[in-house]
Amino acid sequence: MDATVQQAFDTVPRAPFLPPALRMRADVDRPLPLSHGQTNSQPSTVAAMLELLDVRPGHTVLDVGAGSGWTTALLAHLVGPDGRVIGVERVAHLALGAQVALEETGPWPQASVRVTTPGVLGVPEEAPFDRILVSAEASDIPPALIQQLAQDGVMVLPVNTVMTRVIRTRSDGLDVSEHGHYVFVPLIED
């Protein structure tokens, strides 16, 4: 694991972001269930995604499908105090729990989790983002998220089971690469 990502993992434990009954399983490298059919992704998958995302101090990051808030907190550590992380989650109960977990494990003043706006993917009013992490499987690269990505920005998401890294080039083209197969809950785009 990349040293920067390892430091984030060492600083931000998984357990506080899990339901109390599952906290003793925090060190297991498996996805763990949350409510409403959602999961807390397995640590090795999260590490691989964060390495591909290549987050730097000062970046502005969108965390789509924030779930328990663990990835939001890891991203907050990576962007540092001069960066910003906005986590969005469709399930209000999960978003509230994620925000509480952030506040209890922080301080992470540069990070927040909110409920998504119905019918809107991402947070276009806060764009552009230097990095976008999507923790749900899309059927294609979502144009709505490409539009929210800054030039030279990076987005990492699973597309049809393939972990995909997208760089928006200065000429508004896309540099797309594939990085192995993973299973995620589906991304709901509307």
79: DSSP letter: H
Distance in angstroms between the alpha carbons of the first and the last residue of the chain: 35
41 is catalytic: yes
**E strand spans, the chain:** 32-33, 39-40, 60-64, 84-89, 111-115, 129-134, 149-159, 162-168, 174-181
Report how far residue 10's alpha carbon sits from residue 28's, in angstroms, rounded to the nearest whole number. Answer: 15
Catalytic residue among 41, 68, 112, 135: 41
| Amino acid at residue number 123 | V
CB 93 within 8 A of CB 68: no
Report how far residue 67's alpha carbon sits from residue 166's, in angstroms, rounded to the nearest whole number. Answer: 22
Residue numbers annotated as active site: 41
